Structure 1
Amino acid sequence: MRYLPLFMLLCTCVAGSAFGQQANPLKRELDSMYVLDQRNREWLTKLGNNQPLTDSLSAVYKTDRSKLAGVLWAEQTKIDTTNLARAETILKQHGYPGKNLVGKPTNEAVFYIIQHSNKIEQYLPVIKKAADEGEIPFFQYAMMLDRSLMYGGKPQLYGTQASCRQIKKTKQSRCFVWPIANAKTVNERRKQAGFDLTVEENANRLNAAYEPSITVDEVRNTYVFK
């Protein structure tokens, strides 16, 4: 009986695993859902940063650049609603579709869909469980926890969330990092959670002002809340 060399067996196993994931209909569906979740958001980020866009984008939506953001957000709202409904069905059928079921980076798709929804509070325990079990990176749970705290009017823990609001005195809009609990040690927490950037570097990435000592009460006194 002839035996294959060990490296050939390893290659065969890896190839078989990759083929199995490609043949997984749930993986394919989640990949498509993730693309829809991100596409308009990437275009909107470029618009917000005044980055060049292809002329064809305005042509496709039959509008000029000044109105493009509103059109893209309207479409994204419909996509988010459809994505969330399907994600909830998947969660009921499979539990969280993590890396053991659909591989990387498909395991992050449902996280982003929930992160962009109004049901963070409902599914935060599901995301925590997935992170604790290694099905998704822990830093993603940290991001959702921060967003939950911000939406609840509480200081965040990891400094991942920024808010853009109108200043009461000047009526000008400004983006800022939402207040952080124990800001002096936030970079230690970020490192433990798996973030590559410091809170200062992340603020620069978000084009947001960072004031370590600002409190939620000061934010509410400074900015317009509707």
Structure 2
Amino acid sequence: MRFVLFVIGLLPVCAFGQSNKSLKQELDSMYVLDQRNREWLAKLGNNQPLTDSLSALYKVDRTKLAGMLWTEQVKIDTSNLNRAEAILKEHGYPGKTLVGTPTNETVFYIIQHSNKIPAYLPLIRKTAEAKELPFSLYAMMLDRSLMHEMKPQQYGTQVTCRQQIKTKQSRCFVWPITDAKAVNERRKEAGFTLTVEENANRLNAAYEPELTMDVMKKTYAF
């Protein structure tokens, strides 16, 4: 792992100079594939016409639609990640200078949806510090990395849904935050426009500033 991180650390943050139109077009297509099924899945429960339309399109029963979409997405994510890693080796991170905005966010989302976050987090930070990528995206990846490591997050961007041990009911909530009293100040500095409370409401998740890792582990099943 140390060797992998070292090699990635040698990658250039981005390739400066003229924009790369062909790369931009490819990344835009990859972004559509990264997001399409995820957007559909987020809407299925509250959008009957969409559910019926997709069931007809894919010729699959409504009860099996979500599973089919996720299976397809796993294949897409694998293909996208393989191509993104090849692009990183050739160009470094394709940032704002090389492919413009919002195309510069594509590789971020592909990594964010993969198991390669620990390997690429330092590169995402360097890219954000170079202003080739919004710093808020680095903050999101940092939070996800901390959550995966079962540590409190910094910016309150990550939500999880867990079964409560006592009630056996599932509940979605904001993952515990380090120094929650100052989280909105940190969010503002990172470039977020919503407070942690507003973001939780957007995601239909509960926010409990006092929630600690210890309390969470005793309250929810993992």
Q: Does 1:223 align with 2:211?
A: no
What is the deviation of 1:171?
A: 1.4
Alignment root-mean-square deviation, CA = 1.2
Displacement over 4 Å in runs of 4+ = none
In the superposition, the TM-score normalised over structure 2's length comes to 0.89
Superposed CA deviations along residues 91-133 of structure 1, whole A, max 9, x for unmatched, are 0110000010000110000000000001101100010010000
1:65, CA displacement in angstroms? 2.5
**Deviation for aligned residue 1:47:** 1.7
> Larger Cα Rg: Structure 1 or Structure 2?
1
- Match for 2:47: what amino acid? Q
- Which letter maps to 1:88? E
**Alpha-carbon separation, structure 2, partners of 1:51 and 1:175:** 20
**1:180–1:212: 8 Å Cα contact kept in structure 2?**
yes
Aligned to 2:183: 186
Where relative contact order (Cα < 8 A, 6+ residues apart) is larger, the structure is 2
Q: Distance in 2 between matches of 1:53 and 1:27?
A: 33
Aligned counterpart in structure 2 of residue 73 of structure 1, from 38, 53, 70: 70
| Amino acid across the alignment from 2:28 | D
CA deviation after TM superposition for structure 1 residue 167, in Å = 1.1
Work out whether 1:133 is the aligned partner of 2:130: yes
Distance 1:53 1:43, change over 3 A: farther
Shift of residue 25, structure 1, vs aligned partner: 1.0
The CA deviation string for residues 112-160 of structure 1, in whole angstroms up to 9 with x for no partner, is 0000001101100010010000010000000000000000000000000
| Partners of 2:199 and 2:66 in 1: CA distance | 24
Matched, 1:37 2:34: yes
**Equivalent in 144, 150, 165 of residue 147 of structure 1:** 144
TM-score (norm 1): 0.87
- 2:113 aligned partner: 116
Cα contact 1:46–1:53 (8 A) shared by 2 = no
Residue 88 in 1 paired to residue 85 in 2? yes
Amino acid corresponding to residue 110 of structure 2 in structure 1: I
AA matched with 1:29: E
Q: 1:56 aligns with which of 53, 61, 69?
A: 53
CA distance in 2, matches of 1:78, 1:170: 36
Q: 2:193 aligns with which of 173, 193, 196?
A: 196
* Structure 2 unaligned blocks of 5 or more: 1-17
Report which stretch shifted further, 124-133 or 57-66. Answer: 57-66
Residue 181 of structure 2 aligns with an amino acid whose one-letter code is K
Structure 2 residue aligned with 1:14:
none
